[in-house]
């Protein structure tokens, strides 16, 4: 028993120290996490470059009109909007036809009826959109994004020009209207951020590269130099790979957070979140070894403190002899660790625009995220397919980067990925 208690104390000290350092780093790096908001720049650049906004839409009848209208409402003086209807089986084509008939010359709609072998659907769609574009800059954004500020495009171009960036990605604000989204989404997002810390991404001396596909503003010369979407046609997370190629070529990559510019709801069903986050983790982390590390860190640092606090409490209630209380200090130590963990998450959830009380559900989200990471491992080794926008893709390799090609097989009900 003394040995077991000693292990409890040492474990509590080590993990408690981790969360204490984590709290310090949050406060320190928080000052280095740039946000783009309505007051960042008073107006577009003096000589605004032409921007081509490219949106791929597959089965987006619930989102596409709000997305298109919010983009056409942008105050940027010189842009075109190219929307690609990518094999939609719902009312997306009819909605786009109606929007096109309203006479806004900035809007063009392209239609794709088949996916070539060796391409992921989104990569192929936006590649076709780029072929039809004329801008000096390219903005890739998603059909489920809603722009809440008419200055979003002006601000992002001003940010890129002011920092001489070749590639600017703006992290969206998430809509999480349901309980399960508020439990799962923050933990998945925070797990990913650990691997791609913004201050490292924005540092040219660091190799860390990340971009969010919901908003990628790329100088055309940069896009062509890295081979465009053709160079990432078999990548599950083409956005992160494009960012990696940009840094490898010695060009400037910058990531900022949206503050009132645009929002998105990533997944509106649990099934969509299961498939979507499995795809994101497999595509971003790319290797079984990294996925295992991410899962074990969640277990060790986030789930284990709660479990051992409960075990120690049981020891207090059922094992301690009257007046001796050998388990009481152990219980106190682990509950102190849990409290430190909650302070950290309280701060993080506030910065993610979620009420901090939702941080109390973090441990539940951590358990679910571990399961999602395990599913991502199966996809990396090719044991299960990737399902993306209603299309199945074969995966190859054991502990290697994910490679995919359309096999043409029906995917069943279309999932929101």
pLDDT by 10s per residue, the chain, length 417: 566 666 666 777 788 787 777 777 766 665 457 889 988 998 888 889 999 999 999 999 999 999 999 999 999 999 999 999 999 999 999 999 999 999 899 999 999 998 888 888 899 999 999 999 999 999 999 999 999 999 999 999 999 999 999 999 999 999 999 999 999 999 999 899 888 988 889 999 999 999 999 999 999 999 999 999 999 998 888 999 999 999 999 999 999 999 999 999 988 889 889 988 998 998 899 899 999 999 999 999 899 888 888 877 776 676 654 545 566 677 778 888 888 888 888 888 888 888 999 999 999 999 999 999 999 999 888 777 776 666 666 554 433 333 444 333 333 333 233
Pairing type for strands 262-264 and 145-147 reads antiparallel
Contact 167, 252 (CB under 8 A): yes
| CATH H superfamily, domain 35-172+212-266 | Spore Coat Polysaccharide Biosynthesis Protein SpsA; Chain A (3.90.550.10)
How far, in Å, CA of 375 to CA of 365, rounded?
15
Q: Which residues is 41 bridged to in the sheet?
A: none
Distance CA 65, CA 3 (A): 64
Task: Give the 3-state DSSP-derived string for 10-22, with helices as H, strands as E and coil as C.
Answer: HHHHHHHHHHHHH
Q: Which pLDDT value is given to residue 416?
A: 31
Distance of alpha carbon 353 from alpha carbon 344, whole angstroms:
15
What is d(CA 341, CA 92) in angstroms, rounded to the nearest whole number?
45
Run of H or E residues at 97: helix 92-100
Per-residue model confidence (pLDDT) at position 236: 81
Residues of the chain with CATH 3.90.550.10: 35-172+212-266
Phi and psi at 125, nearest 5°, equal: -65, -50
Residues in the chain: 417
**DSSP letter, residue 252:** -
| CA proximity to 53, closest of 157, 158, 124 | 157
Is residue 413 a contact partner of residue 392, using CB atoms and an 8 Å limit? no
Give Cα separations from 169 to 71, 138, 140, 184 (angstroms): 17, 12, 10, 23
């Amino acid at each position: 028993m003394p040995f077991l208690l000693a292990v409890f104390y040492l474990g509590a000290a080590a993990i408690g120290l981790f969360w204490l350092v984590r709290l310090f780093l949050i406060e320190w790096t928080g000052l280095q996490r740039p946000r783009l908001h309505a007051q960042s720049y008073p107006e577009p650049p003096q000589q605004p470059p032409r921007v081509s906004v490219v949106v791929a839409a597959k089965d987006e009848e619930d989102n596409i009109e709000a997305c298109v209208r919010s983009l056409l409402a942008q105050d940027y003086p010189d842009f075109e909007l190219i929307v690609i209807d990518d094999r939609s089986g719902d009312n997306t084509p009819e909605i786009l036809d109606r929007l096109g008939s309203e006479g806004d010359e900035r809007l063009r709609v392209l239609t794709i009826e088949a996916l070539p072998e060796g391409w992921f659907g989104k990569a192929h769609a936006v590649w076709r959109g780029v072929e039809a574009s004329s801008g000096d800059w390219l903005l890739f954004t998603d059909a489920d994004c809603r722009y809440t500020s008419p200055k979003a495009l002006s601000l992002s171009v001003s940010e890129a020009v002011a920092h001489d960036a070749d590639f600017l990605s703006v992290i969206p604000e998430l809509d999480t209207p349901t309980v399960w989204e508020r439990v799962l989404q923050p933990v998945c997002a925070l797990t990913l951020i650990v691997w791609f810390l913004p201050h490292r991404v924005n540092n040219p001396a660091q190799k860390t590269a990340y971009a969010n596909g919901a908003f990628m503003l790329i100088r055309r010369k940069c896009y062509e130099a890295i081979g465009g979407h053709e160079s990432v046609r078999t990548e599950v997370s083409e956005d992160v790979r494009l960012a990696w190629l940009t840094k490898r070529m010695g060009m400037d990559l910058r990531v900022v957070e949206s503050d009132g510019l645009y929002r998105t709801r990533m997944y509106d069903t649990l099934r969509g979140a299961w498939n979507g986050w499995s795809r994101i983790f497999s595509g971003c982390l790319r290797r079984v070894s990294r996925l295992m590390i991410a899962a074990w860190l969640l277990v060790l640092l986030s789930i284990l403190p709660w479990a051992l606090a409960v075990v120690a409490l049981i020891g207090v209630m059922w094992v301690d002899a009257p007046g001796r209380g050998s388990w009481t200090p152990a219980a106190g130590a682990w509950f102190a660790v849990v409290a430190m963990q909650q302070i950290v998450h309280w701060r993080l959830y506030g910065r993610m625009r979620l009420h901090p009380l939702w941080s109390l559900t973090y441990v539940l989200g951590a358990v679910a995220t571990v399961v999602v990471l395990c599913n991502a491992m199966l996809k990396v080794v090719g044991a299960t397919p990737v399902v993306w926008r209603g299309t199945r893709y074969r995966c190859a390799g054991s502990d290697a980067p994910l490679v995919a090609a359309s096999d043409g097989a029906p995917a069943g009900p279309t999932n929101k990925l």
